[in-house]
Amino acid sequence: GEHQDGSLLFLGSLEGDLVASHCDPEALACLAACSKMLYGNICCIELVRRRVEDWQITGEQSEQCHQLEHLAFSLAMRELCDQPNSHHVLFGYGGGKTPLASAVPFLHSAASIAKRFPRAKVHVDAHAGVYAPSHRVADKCSLGRAQSIRQHLLAQGVAAAQISTTAWGKYVSSSWTEQDDRVARAEVYICLDAIHLPDKPDYYRNSPSLSTEPQAFHIYNRDGHFWLMPEEELEMSRFLAIDV
pLDDT tens digits for range 213-231: 444 444 444 443 344 444 4
Half-sphere exposure (CA, 13 Å, Cβ side) for 60? 7
- Sites in the chain below the pLDDT cut of 70: 1-23, 41-43, 55, 207-244
pLDDT at res. 179: 72
The DSSP H or E segment spanning 221 is strand 217-222
pLDDT at res. 69: 85
Give the predicted TM-score (pTM) of the model. Answer: 0.71
pLDDT at res. 208: 59
pLDDT at res. 239: 45
Phi-psi region of 106 (alpha: psi -120 to 50; beta: other; left: phi over 0): alpha
pLDDT at res. 22: 56
pLDDT at res. 157: 97
